Structure 1
Amino acid sequence: MTILKALLLILIGLSGGLAVGAGLVAFLTVLGIVPRLAQITKTHAFIHLYQSGIIAGAVFWSWIGLREAELYLVKDVVLVYGLLAGMFVGLLAAALTEVLNVLPILAKRIHMVDKLVWLLMAMVLGKVLGSLFHWMFFAPFS
């Protein structure tokens, strides 16, 4: 690999990381997760710890992802982790939907305002069934 190719690869990697990081920060800022968490738990004095925890978690798991490390965990731990991770992703998606008012706009555009509950249930069941299908049939082979 020539020096020019190596420098180009470094530039592309750093640019991609910067774009993803900026997107994550913008996403968390728009949702107001950290201030809302401090408000709900009445722990404004620890808001810097929340921010440090988010940064440390992002850096640690990015490093683990780059090293392609394998974690050998007990089945019960994996089940609990999977449940908590799924809840986190679902709640984050719900928070984003709430902030952007996606559901009312979508319901209005597809002329289903009177059937909003059915639309929401279809989305939830689709997500659950799709996730179960993936984890039951594709995850064991990867």
Structure 2
Amino acid sequence: MFLKQLFLVFLGLSAGGVIAAGVFAFLAIIGVFPRLIGKTHTNKHIFLYETVIIIGGVLGNVSDIYEIPIHMGGNVFLGIYGLAVGIFVGCLVMSLAETLKALPVISRRIHLAVGLQYVILAIGLGKLIGSLVYFTGNFGQ
């Protein structure tokens, strides 16, 4: 019985490691990390970036598996965490859109010669306002 459980632990951790490696490879391929490093001009801290990305992935998986509650900072911590996650997701979406060349296609489809940045800003602000309305509890009551 112990051998079977040990095998299942090994198999689960191996499968999780492969999936996590695939996700991080996908993020690196579409250019999220290189673009952030390039925009912030922090090329000399590559080792730190790699370490923080790996630690973040491991801690995120552990907290998800074991459902570890975070009891610090209350709403302030939650706000900072939400802002950081929102920035990351925004960078991820823009990197994916840039990789797929979605922005030139959108501008050609809607016949927009100038001002695409305002369309993107309006979409982002609309998502922000919609999220704030939804999460403050004033939606659907």
Q: TM-score, normalised by structure 2?
A: 0.68
For structure 2, the residue ranges without an aligned partner over 5 or more in a row are none
Higher helix fraction: Structure 1 or Structure 2? 1
Question: How large is the RMSD of aligned CA atoms in angstroms?
Answer: 3.6
Alpha-carbon distance, 1:90 to partner: 1.6
Q: Deviations over 1:90-142 (max 9, x none)?
A: 2332233223321221343xx3032745642452233213322442239xxxx
SS of the residue corresponding to residue 105 of structure 1 reads helix
List gaps (5 residues or longer) in structure 1. none
Aligned residues of 1:31 and 1:95 also touching (Cα < 8 A): yes
Residues 21-77 of structure 1: CA distance to partner in whole angstroms, max 9, x if unpaired? 313212223306247616843543x31221121111111111111110111232222
Partner of 2:67: 68
Instruction: Check if 1:129 corresponds to 2:129.
Output: yes
Answer 1 or 2: higher relative contact order, Cα 8 Å, separation at least 6: 2
Equivalent pair of 2:31/2:95 in contact (CA under 8 Å): yes
> Quick one: distance in 2 between partners of 1:56 and 1:124?
29
Percent of aligned pairs with the same amino acid? 25
Q: Is the 8 A contact 2:32 2:91 kept in 1?
A: no
Change in CA separation of 1:18 and 1:133 when aligned onto 2, cut-off 3 Å:
farther
Equivalent position SS for 1:113: coil
Tell me the distance in 1 between the aligned counterparts of 2:19 and 2:104: 30
1:34·1:50 contact (CA, 8 Å) conserved in 2?
Answer: no
Q: CA, structure 1 residues 67+37, in 2 after alignment: closer, same or farther (shift >3 Å)?
A: same
Tell me the matched-pair count.
134
